[in-house]
Amino acid sequence: MKTTIELPDVIVRQVKILAAERRVTLRELVLQGLEHVLAEKQVTARSRAKKLFAAMDGLPAFAAKDRLSRPDANAR
């Protein structure tokens, strides 16, 4: 798909230099950048769980020291 975007001249010059240094086309470099941004948006179940547990640690009833270990939880 083709699209047109307007970019500041300073950015275009820097990107062209970077593309030349990396020996890739401007299209490839822009595509890599867009893919990088999209990959950052994807949230894994593990990262969601880490954020949840971090938030729970702030609550008095759910402090990390009070949580069961995996073996203890499985034994119940």
Give the pLDDT confidence of 12-37 residue by residue, as tens digits.
999 999 999 999 999 999 999 999 88
Q: How many CB atoms lie within 10 A of CB 13?
A: 11
* pTM for the structure as a whole: 0.52
Residue pair 26/19 in contact by the 8 Å Cβ criterion: yes
Q: Mean pLDDT for the chain? A: 84
- Which residue segments constitute the domains of the chain, with CATH numbers given? 1-42 (1.10.1220), 44-76 (no CATH)
- Measure the CA–CA gap between 62 and 68, rounded to whole angstroms: 10
Residue 65 carries which side chain, given as an amino acid letter? K
